Chains A and B, each alone.
Chain A
Amino acid sequence: MTPTTRTRWAILGLTGPAYLWLACTIFLPIAAMLALSFLDKSPLVPKPASFTLANYGAFFGKPFYWSLTRWSIELGFWVTLFSFLIGYPAAYALAKRVKGRWREAIFLLIVLPFWSNALVRIFSWTMVLRPNGIIDLGVQSVLPGAPTVDLLFTYPAVIIGLVHSYLPYMILTCYIALQAIDDSLIEAGRSLGANKLTTFRRVVLPLSLPGIISGSALIFVPVIGSFMEPRILGGTKGATLGMNIEEQFTVTANWPLGAALSFILLAIVLVIFGMLYPFLRKQSGAA
Chain B
Amino acid sequence: MKNFADAGIRFYLILVLVFLYLPILVMALLAFNKSPLYALPFEFDLVWFKALAENDRLLKAGLNSVLIALANTVIATSLGTMAAVAFGRYTFRGKTMMQALLFPPIAIPWLVIGTAMLVFFFWIGRAIGYPGIARGLHAILLGHVALSLPYVIFVVGARLNDYPKALEEAAATLGATPWQVFRRISVPILAPGVVAASLFAFAVSFDQFVISYFLAPPGVTTLPVEIYTSIRKGFTPEINAISTIIILVSMGLMLIVARFYRFGGERSGNE
Contacts and interface: CB of A to CB of B under 8 A. Distances in A.
B123 to A, nearest CB: 6
Interface in A240-267: 242, 245-246, 249-250, 255, 258-259, 262, 265-266
A245 B111 contact: yes
Contacts of B219: none
B119 A18 contact: no
B203 A123 contact: no
A130 B271 CA distance: 42
B216 to A, nearest CB: 11
A231 B233 CA distance: 12
Given A22-B101, A86-B16, A120 B243 contact: yes
A227 B213 CA distance: 12
Interface of B: 6, 9-10, 12-13, 16-17, 19-24, 26-27, 30, 38-40, 79-80, 82-83, 85-87, 90, 92, 98, 101-102, 104-105, 107-113, 115-123, 126, 142-143, 145-146, 149, 153, 203, 206-207, 209-210, 214, 224, 227-228, 231-232, 235, 239-240, 243, 246-247, 250-251, 253-255, 258, 270-271
Contacts of B207: 115-118
Interface of A: 7-8, 10-11, 13-15, 17-19, 21-22, 24-30, 32-33, 36, 43-44, 86, 89-90, 93-94, 97-98, 100, 103-104, 106, 108-110, 112-113, 115-121, 123-128, 130, 132-134, 137, 164, 167-168, 171, 221-222, 224-228, 231-232, 242, 245-246, 249-250, 255, 258-259, 262, 265-266, 269, 273
A29 B228 contact: no
Contacts of B108: 26, 30, 266, 269
Contact of A121 (B23, B90, B240): B23
Contact of B105 (A15, A26, A262): A26
Contact of A18 (B26, B82, B254, B258): B82
A110 B20 contact: yes
Nearest to B253: A115
A228 B110 CA distance: 11
A246 B90 contact: no
Contacts of B122: 43-44
A117 B217 CA distance: 22
Contact of B17 (A11, A110, A121): A110
Given A25-B142, A117-B243, A118-B209, 18 more contacts: A10-B90, A11-B92, A15-B82, A21-B149, A43-B119, A90-B12, A106-B13, A110-B20, A112-B254, A115-B207, A115-B251, A117-B246, A119-B209, A123-B227, A222-B110, A226-B111, A245-B115, A266-B108
B45 to A, nearest CB: 17
B24 A121 contact: yes
Contact of A21 (B12, B79, B111): B79
Nearest to A225: B109
A90 B13 contact: yes
Q: Which of B6, B115, B123, B258 has the most CB of A within 10 A?
A: B115
B246 A43 contact: no
18 contacts: A7-B92, A14-B85, A18-B153, A21-B79, A21-B145, A29-B119, A43-B123, A112-B251, A116-B246, A117-B243, A119-B224, A123-B243, A168-B20, A224-B109, A228-B228, A232-B231, A262-B116, A265-B112
B231 A15 contact: no
B227 A127 contact: no
Contacts of B246: 116-117, 120
A22 B6 CA distance: 49
Given A110-B16, A132-B38, A262 B112 contact: yes
A136 to B, nearest CB: 11
A128 B22 contact: yes
A228 B209 contact: yes
Q: Which of A21, A118, A128 has the most CB of B within 10 A?
A: A21
A127 B23 contact: yes
Given A22-B105, A119-B224, A32 B20 contact: no
A37 to B, nearest CB: 10
Nearest to A30: B116
B9 A97 contact: yes
A130 B17 CA distance: 21
Contacts of A167: 16, 19-20
B116 A128 contact: no
A86 B15 CA distance: 10
B13 A123 contact: no
Contacts of A222: 109-110
Contacts of A120: 24, 27, 227, 243, 246-247
A22 B23 contact: no
B23 A36 contact: no
Contacts of B111: 225-227, 242, 245-246, 262, 265
A43 B121 CA distance: 11
